[in-house]
Structure 1
């Protein structure tokens, strides 16, 4: 992925990782379009940056995604980078029967959303010579957090889907997976100040340094996420126990 001169669409751009990436990509000389549900949050991210643009999007609505894709490519025909970042994380108990609303919403936002939006934009991206898809997964794609089982499962599924997408688009569209560790954001209540989580600005700085490598790595892995990403190689059972013993909600 070239460092500058891109037109980049970032879903979930109104806060957290999406906001941090939007600011950094913009300041490197890219045009950035941030999408999300809350216009006020998008406006706050875009404030003071002339080349950050906002568009509302309900990532759970298939018809809205199709309409959005047509509108964003008409408004920004130079669009060449899609960052599938929007997602939700809900705590769920698996040891008794429960309402599955949270589980189903998580699958809709975290897995069906990126699949649908990528599908809606793929012909546009393939037609360009510099198309890129960046899927934001999680260290929990590789070692699940028992308290957030559906979140972990959707990220594992998106990791697999990204591998298939990369192979299908080889030589035509670059496909990159960004794998965050636990980062201080508002993804869950209290997470933005949770001790032991990687500060958002430090995470974003390390991510942009990795994006700056030539060639761009297929997987963007900050150092903090390596124990999770390589747990199958280094000792999965130990990492599973360690992860789920040290995280408190």
Structure 2
């Protein structure tokens, strides 16, 4: 797909991977509408020439408010990038169930609700795409992040099924699986992180190339290990 001239709705586009996706798509001629929750970051992106909408996607009302803010504008590409981590490790204390609920909604339910809401206008375009950003953790989980891993694994399954449902239509369904990327969410990890610029570049390359999956960076290695031995991949990742 040629992204030049396409209108893109990008969730979680004011920081991290999303911010770099927005910048690189804009440089290629796309009209990017991005969302985020932090007012200062949204204002900074507006200063770069983006339309930036405040949206809290951790509950249904926030998703519906975003859809209302879009009005009836055509959307060519939907990128579900927004996600929310959550501390959920019983070895360190009792987790907060409300925080888990918010993570599940933002990372899984919100993409499903947005796709359901926007599918009619995507179908109306001559060429369209849905990109769901999951994670290498969708393939095999780590012990310290069970809720986050579960949402990404569920979104991966949803994406696979959605691709089968839309086969033959003019809508590409793409899954992007980043490795550990240098973002606010991984600030506690001192090393071994991919720059968000490179992660974004590989995701956009998959969109332009019409690839069903973007296995980014070290996720390619994890996919290879999993294809040979799912048990080995899970054993390695559970302690990661």
Confirm or deny a common fold (TM above 0.5).
Answer: yes
Q: Is the 8 A contact 2:77 2:128 kept in 1?
A: yes
Once the two structures are superposed, residues 146-193 of structure 1 have per-residue CA deviations (whole angstroms, 9 ceiling, x without a partner) of 1001111100100010111112222142211111111111124434xx
SS at 1:12's partner residue?
coil
Aligned-pair RMSD on alpha carbons?
1.9
Q: Is the 8 A contact 1:15 1:45 kept in 2?
A: no
> Where do 5+ consecutive residues of structure 2 fail to align?
none
Q: Is the 8 A contact 1:73 1:79 kept in 2?
A: no
C-alpha displacement at 1:97, in angstroms? 5.7
Structure 2 residue aligned with 1:149:
146
Is 2:136 the partner of 1:139?
yes
Is the alpha carbon distance of 1:211 and 1:145 closer, same or farther for their aligned partners in structure 2, counting shifts above 3 Å? same
SS at 1:187's partner residue?
helix
SS at 2:87's partner residue?
coil
SS at 1:202's partner residue?
helix
Is 2:231 the partner of 1:233?
no
Structure 1 residue aligned with 2:118:
121
Is the alpha carbon distance of 1:101 and 1:71 closer, same or farther for their aligned partners in structure 2, counting shifts above 3 Å? closer
- d(CA) in 2 for partners of 1:27, 1:121: 25
Once the two structures are superposed, residues 37-82 of structure 1 have per-residue CA deviations (whole angstroms, 9 ceiling, x without a partner) of 2232122123233xx21111111231332232133143xx232111
- d(CA) in 2 for partners of 1:2, 1:34: 19
What is the TM-score normalised by the length of structure 1?
0.87
Q: Is the 8 A contact 1:140 1:228 kept in 2?
A: no
**Residue of structure 1 aligned with 2:54, choices 53, 56, 62:** 56
Structure 2 residue aligned with 1:47:
47
Aligned residue pairs, count = 238
Once the two structures are superposed, residues 94-128 of structure 1 have per-residue CA deviations (whole angstroms, 9 ceiling, x without a partner) of 45764422322211111111111111111111122
- d(CA) in 2 for partners of 1:132, 1:73: 19
Structure 2 residue aligned with 1:243:
237
> Where do 5+ consecutive residues of structure 1 fail to align?
none
- d(CA) in 1 for partners of 2:232, 2:66: 44
1:168-207, aligned counterparts within 5 Å?
Answer: 168-170=165-167, 171-191=169-189, 194-207=190-203
What is the TM-score normalised by the length of structure 2?
0.90
Is the alpha carbon distance of 1:2 and 1:92 closer, same or farther for their aligned partners in structure 2, counting shifts above 3 Å? same
More moved, 195-204 vs 138-147? 195-204
More moved, 116-125 vs 153-162? 116-125
- d(CA) in 2 for partners of 1:229, 1:113: 26
C-alpha displacement at 1:222, in angstroms? 2.1
